Structure 1
Amino acid sequence: MKTNINRKNDQAIIKEVFDILKDKLETDKIIRFWTICNLNPQDYCDLKDQLFQDETVDSLYEKIKNYEKENKS
């Protein structure tokens, strides 16, 4: 029973951290951070849904084009 309670608290902390990250970082940096930390895949899916909930294919395409333009070597 104690483990279940801790898991719920862990999930609440993860959600709070993601909310902070969403306010402070760009999406690509959040994804890179997630990868570096090697976090739980289910948590990643939840985060991905939150990060892209307001995006469309067109808006993502524009962001990719802008990113590529700004980061050309």
Structure 2
Amino acid sequence: MSVTVPNESATTAEAVEVLMERMPASKVARLLSSWQIGQGDYLKLRDELFVRETVESLYEQAKANTPRE
């Protein structure tokens, strides 16, 4: 199995586009600003977000949400 990883700037642009569809620009700007500053404890957040996940379960979720070409 091989995995193609999209470049970071394309992924960031897509994420901002999705956020802009769902949130006011002011909230998106604040979120992006906090990401740049690096506020918060990423490791704690990661543990909270993925408490019941495994690599396999995340892979299956990603695979299910990936458009086929």
Q: TM-score range by the shorter chain?
A: 0.3 to 0.5
Name the one with the larger helix percent.
1
TM-score of the pair, normalised by structure 1: 0.40
TM-score of the pair, normalised by structure 2: 0.42
The structure with higher relative contact order (CA 8 Å, sep 6+) is 1
